[in-house]
Homo-oligomer: A and B are copies of this chain.
Amino acid sequence: MPKNAERRPTLADVAELSGMSKAAVSMILNDRPGSRLSADAARRVRAAAEELGYRPNPAAQSLRLGRTRTLGFISDQITVTRYASEMIRGLLSAAKEHDHTVLIAETEGDDSMIADAIRAMIDRRVDGIMIGLLGARMIDVPETPHDVPVVIVNGTSTSGHASVLPDERAAGEAMARLLTDAGHRRIGVIGNNPRAVSSPRHSVTIGLRFEGIRAAFDDAGVDPYMVDVPEWNPDIGYENTLRMLDEHPDITAILAGNDGVAFGVYQAMAERGKRVRDDISVASFDDEELASFQRPGLTTARLPYDVMGRASVEMLLGDRPLGAELIPMPVIVRQSIRDIT
Which positions in A face B, CB cutoff 8 Å?
Answer: 3-6, 8, 55-60, 62-63, 66, 68, 70, 78-82, 84-86, 88-89, 92-93, 96, 101-106, 108, 120, 122-125, 145-147, 234, 238, 260, 263, 267, 270, 288-290, 293, 295
Contacts and interface: CB of A to CB of B under 8 A. Distances in A.
Contacts of A4: 146-147
A86 B5 CA distance: 37
Given A58-B125, A78-B85, 16 more contacts: A4-B147, A5-B147, A6-B146, A8-B146, A59-B63, A78-B88, A80-B82, A80-B288, A88-B88, A88-B104, A93-B106, A104-B104, A238-B295, A263-B293, A267-B295, A290-B290
12 contacts: A58-B59, A58-B123, A59-B60, A59-B63, A59-B68, A70-B103, A78-B85, A92-B104, A101-B103, A102-B103, A104-B104, A290-B290
Contacts of A55: 122-123
Copies of this chain assembled into the complex: 2
Contacts of A60: 59, 63
Nearest to A69: B124
Given A4-B146, A101-B120, A146-B4, A85 B79 contact: yes
A104 B102 contact: yes
Contacts of A106: 88-89, 92-93
Given A4-B147, A59-B125, A106-B93, A81 B238 contact: no
A76 to B, nearest CB: 12
A6 to B, nearest CB: 7
Given A3-B66, A123-B58, A289 B80 contact: yes
Nearest to A292: B234
Contacts of A260: 293
A254 to B, nearest CB: 18
- When A and B form their complex, which 10 residue pairs have the shortest distance between CB atoms, in order from nearest? A59-B63, A59-B62, A78-B89, A80-B289, A270-B270, A234-B293, A59-B59, A55-B123, A80-B82, A78-B85
A304 to B, nearest CB: 14
A122 B62 CA distance: 16
Contact of A105 (B92, B123, B238): B92
Nearest to A288: B80
Contact of A124 (B58, B120, B295): B58
Contacts of A93: 106, 108
Contacts of A234: 293, 295
A3 B68 CA distance: 14
A102 B104 CA distance: 6
Contacts of A82: 80
